[in-house]
Amino acid sequence: MGERIEQSSGSGKIKRSSELRTETRLELEDLGDLRRTHYCGELRVEDAGKSVVLMGWVRRRRDLGELIFIDLADRTGIVQVVSSRDRSAQAFSAAELLRSEYVVAVEGKVTKRLPENVNPALPTGEIEVEAVRIHILNTAKTPPFYIQDNTDADENLRLKYRYLDLRRYPMLRNLELRHRAVKAVRDYLSSLGFWEIETPMMTRSTPEGARDYVVPVRTAPGKFFALAQSPQLFKQLLMVAGVDKYFQINRCFRDEDLRADRQPEFTQIDIEMSFAGEEEVFSLVEGLLGYTWKTVLGVTLPVPFPRMTYREAVARYGTDKPDIRFGMEIHDVTEAFRGTSFKVVADVLRRGGRVKALVAPGQAGMPRSQVDALVERAKGYGAKGLITLAYLDGEVRSPARKFLSDSELDRVREMSGAVTGDLVLCVAGEDVPCCEVLGKMRLDLGRTLGMIPRGSSAFLWVTEFPLLKINEDTGEWEAAHHPFTSPVPEDLERFEELARTDRGAIRARSYDVVLNGVELASGSIRIHRRDVQEKVFRVLGLNEEEARKRFGFLLEAFEYGAPPHGGIAFGMDRLIMMMAGAETIREVIAFPKNSSGTCVLTDAPASIDREKLEELGLEVKVPHS
RNA sequence: GGAGGCGUGGUGUAGCCGGUCAAACAUACGUGCCUGUCACGCACGAGAUCGCGGGUUCAAAUCCCGUCGCCUCCGCCA
């Protein structure tokens, strides 16, 4: 017991710590009948005089020779244990042996500290525990990084030793926050009559959407389950079943590239309700988030949330998930250039394009190198070019100055709302792409110019997304949300006409919850009528037979009395991330994958044995690793 | 798939317009001293062939090429 065997064992190179730290004198004790009476972080002045038994980890040891202080830590916090020979010879000799992260039980007496010894930085700082007996329950190797609140250790190292990383209070607090948020969600939805029902994770691969994770099946060689990308179809079946109000906190799997706020497996709060329209979903969600924020963070959210259509969001913010914590909206300045002799812009206008503008307040004096960087960035975002106009006192500085007339410059200033001292960025081209470029520039500038207020939460409903979108790869129209999303009633009335002339303009009864520019939830009112579903399938280019093949079970179910229904699904991890104020989703997941999609802790994904492949009827083509 | 950034003792960094660098600093680690510390302090000690491979050169942590890993973003994510 208690060996401190280093990884290099066997190499012949013995690290000193592996020997000296164990010393012959160190004997581990069993827990026996010893039981904890208090948690470390809970002790207060009122506890002074009490005899206590604490259990925890030695976070720090301050050895003053004949006086040893120990910071004893458990999930509730840290308390100082003091030990000296005159108080207890046993405790003192044990304290001399202690090292970082040893596991100990401390029997002792809570004493009020002298005023000059109080540590105001600690909730337990007014007291300390005088050790009477110290039981060393386990030793510990020296941790590969510091177990302290602020770490700058490499994230992959943290992930490899995630159990140590989680020992840090910010991480423990995130885990607790998550637990409380999940509980709040369950409590709230349950109180409104929602039933939590589990749906399969192993299911059938569907052609739409993200790439599937695939599960080979021994009993059906050559066939595969897909891990569910969402419980979408099943929750709709539950509506047909008459469940009426359903929710689930479930895991979803999507095999796509990762991001700071995206993991290949993630948790969703999935909700569906029958005989409801948008307003019922909206108020449910506002109530749910309001309750959760209040219970977990003690913060009252302003409800109802503001609403904005997709079209408006793109026009004003260049994105379908605007961060409305700051202004800096996009302006259409096309008319300022009507009849311009600036060839590049004139060409765009002739083709029916637009000119969009973004005002960077007070940035007219931006150095040329930075302005050039902005132009490059805009190109990186897909713009053909970026016209920068620096409105200085009495002059306008711009690389395109000689192509532009004074009146054009005045009109741009007027239409964009720019004032002297501002830098105006203009992009010419197709309407939506221009807005999207400027939308990204807006976020970049908002961040670098410090325009985004910290600590504020700006919720927003974005509604009426397009029903269809064009797939860039295939050039075909696809469902933007999923193929069971209802069109808005007005557009359904003239559905045939729109399907012929302007498919992209058909609006869906779909909606997102956006918080500070992050998509938190997404949902829709579904199609429950066969005739409507057929129309949508038709515009998607699916005939009866193809639709049957893909979604047959759902379509069949819908023939047995599907109620009108709709719902929404939250990205739980993102929700918690926002509540915790974390930078990445990984900070609120106990055991996340790194951004390359591997689990550093278990070294998964990994190869499997030849025999297992054999059994599954699989052959691997890539060179073995 | 694309762009950018990073990779040096356990950890975090410096060095990186080539030589005096078998590499500095902090911290962690070990030993000793220390009775009021709380990031304790002081002293001493151990610890890295600078991600990997190749090239240029009299000489490479440093320059070049390739490669691997990681992080962020774009594409992608109904």
Name the band, by pLDDT with cuts 50, 70 and 90, for residue A258: very high
Average of per-residue pLDDT values in chain A: 90
Taking the C1' atom of every nucleotide in all shown strands and the CA of A468, the nearest one is B78
How high is the pLDDT of residue A150? 87
Q: Would you tell me how many other CB atoms lie within 10 Å of the CB of residue A69?
A: 17
Answer for the pair A180, A163: CB distance below 8 angstroms, yes or no.
no
pLDDT tens column, A165-220: 999 999 999 999 999 999 999 999 999 999 999 999 999 987 778 999 999 999 99
Taking the C1' atom of every nucleotide in all shown strands and the CA of A78, the nearest one is B38
Q: Is A15 a residue whose pLDDT tops 50?
A: no
Q: Is A500 a residue whose pLDDT tops 70?
A: yes
- Please report the sign of the dihedral spanned by the C-alpha atoms of residue A608, residue A611, residue A614, residue A620: positive
Answer for the pair A408, A340: CB distance below 8 angstroms, yes or no.
yes
How high is the pLDDT of residue A25? 60
How high is the pLDDT of residue A560? 95
Taking the C1' atom of every nucleotide in all shown strands and the CA of A87, the nearest one is B35
> How long is the CA A16 to C1' B46 vector, in angstroms?
8
User: What would the mean pLDDT of A603-624 be, rounded to a whole number?
Assistant: 85
Name the band, by pLDDT with cuts 50, 70 and 90, for residue A19: very low
Enumerate the β-bridge partners of residue A511: A463, A523
> How long is the CA A261 to C1' B52 vector, in angstroms?
31
3-state secondary structure of A473: coil
Taking the C1' atom of every nucleotide in all shown strands and the CA of A69, the nearest one is B37
Buried b / exposed e along A280-306 (16+ C-beta atoms within 10 A): ebbebbbbbbbbbbebbbeeebeeebe
Enumerate the β-bridge partners of residue A128: A111
How high is the pLDDT of residue A92? 96
Name the band, by pLDDT with cuts 50, 70 and 90, for residue A394: confident
> How long is the CA A158 to C1' B62 vector, in angstroms?
30
CA distance A612 to A37: 50
Taking the C1' atom of every nucleotide in all shown strands and the CA of A596, the nearest one is B70
- Two structure tokens written together for A453: 């207020």
Query: Can you list the positions of beta strands (E) in A330-370?
Result: 331-332, 354-360
3-state secondary structure of A357: strand
CA distances from A463 to A270, A278, A356, A509 (A): 19, 10, 23, 7
How high is the pLDDT of residue A461? 97
Looking at per-residue confidence, does A7 or A318 come out higher? A318
Whole-prediction pTM:
0.91
In the sheet where A214-216 sits, what is the strand order?
Answer: A202-203, A224-227, A214-216
pLDDT tens column, A131-149: 999 999 999 999 999 999 9
> How long is the CA A278 to C1' B53 vector, in angstroms?
61
- Two structure tokens written together for A331: 């302006």
Residue of least CA–C1' distance to B74: A381
Answer for the pair A567, A518: CB distance below 8 angstroms, yes or no.
no
For A90-159, what is the HEC assignment? Answer: HHHHHHHHCCCCCEEEEEEEEEECCHHHCCCCCCCCCEEEEEEEEEEEECCCCCCCCCCCCCCCCHHHHH
- Please report the sign of the dihedral spanned by the C-alpha atoms of residue A573, residue A577, residue A578, residue A584: negative
> How long is the CA A545 to C1' B23 vector, in angstroms?
72
> How long is the CA A169 to C1' B65 vector, in angstroms?
46
Taking the C1' atom of every nucleotide in all shown strands and the CA of A481, the nearest one is B78
pLDDT tens column, A440-465: 999 988 888 888 887 788 999 999 99
Residue of least CA–C1' distance to B45: A16
Name the band, by pLDDT with cuts 50, 70 and 90, for residue A4: very low
Taking the C1' atom of every nucleotide in all shown strands and the CA of A252, the nearest one is B77
Q: Is A17 a residue whose pLDDT tops 50?
A: no
Residue of least CA–C1' distance to B46: A16
Residue of least CA–C1' distance to B13: A152
Name the band, by pLDDT with cuts 50, 70 and 90, for residue A1: very low
> How long is the CA A5 to C1' B44 vector, in angstroms?
26
CA distance A228 to A204: 8
Q: List the one residue out of A85, A87, A65, A81 whose CA is nearest residue A136.
A: A81
CA distance A290 to A227: 32
Taking the C1' atom of every nucleotide in all shown strands and the CA of A569, the nearest one is B78
> How long is the CA A447 to C1' B7 vector, in angstroms?
28
Name the band, by pLDDT with cuts 50, 70 and 90, for residue A18: very low
How high is the pLDDT of residue A403? 93
Name the band, by pLDDT with cuts 50, 70 and 90, for residue A8: very low
What is the ipTM metric for this complex? 0.92
Average the pLDDT over each of A31-45, A493-507, A535-549 and give the range with the smallest value.
A535-549
> How long is the CA A601 to C1' B30 vector, in angstroms?
29
Name the band, by pLDDT with cuts 50, 70 and 90, for residue A478: confident
> How long is the CA A266 to C1' B70 vector, in angstroms?
22
Taking the C1' atom of every nucleotide in all shown strands and the CA of A21, the nearest one is B30
User: What would the mean pLDDT of A22-40 be, rounded to a whole number?
Assistant: 83
Taking the C1' atom of every nucleotide in all shown strands and the CA of A84, the nearest one is B35
CA distance A48 to A128: 9
Q: Which nucleotides of B are covered by protein (CB under 7 A)?
A: 1, 3, 10-13, 27-31, 33-41, 46, 69-78
Answer for the pair A509, A502: CB distance below 8 angstroms, yes or no.
no
Name residues whose C-beta falls within 8 Å of residue A23's C-beta, 6 or more positions apart in sequence. A97
Residue of least CA–C1' distance to B38: A119
> How long is the CA A262 to C1' B76 vector, in angstroms?
12
The percentage of residues in chain A with a pLDDT greater than 90, rounded to a whole number, is 75
pLDDT tens column, A76-131: 999 999 999 999 999 999 999 999 999 999 999 999 999 999 999 999 999 999 99
- Number of alpha carbons in the 13 Å side-chain half-sphere of residue A586: 20
Answer for the pair A417, A359: CB distance below 8 angstroms, yes or no.
yes
Answer for the pair A613, A221: CB distance below 8 angstroms, yes or no.
no
Name the band, by pLDDT with cuts 50, 70 and 90, for residue A623: low
Residues A117-126: contacts with CB under 8 Å, at least 24 apart: A119/A80, A122/A77, A122/A78, A122/A79, A122/A80, A123/A41, A123/A44, A123/A77, A124/A40, A124/A41, A124/A42, A124/A43, A124/A44, A124/A77, A124/A78, A124/A79, A124/A80, A125/A80, A126/A44, A126/A45
How high is the pLDDT of residue A552? 81
Q: List the one residue out of A270, A287, A284, A290 whose CA is nearest residue A568.
A: A270
How high is the pLDDT of residue A449? 85
Q: Identify the helix (H) or strand (E) that includes residue A181.
A: helix A169-191
How high is the pLDDT of residue A475? 76
The percentage of residues in chain A with a pLDDT greater than 70, rounded to a whole number, is 95
User: What would the mean pLDDT of A589-616 be, rounded to a whole number?
Assistant: 91
> How long is the CA A393 to C1' B12 vector, in angstroms?
48
CA distance A553 to A246: 20
User: What would the mean pLDDT of A11-38 be, rounded to a whole number?
Assistant: 62
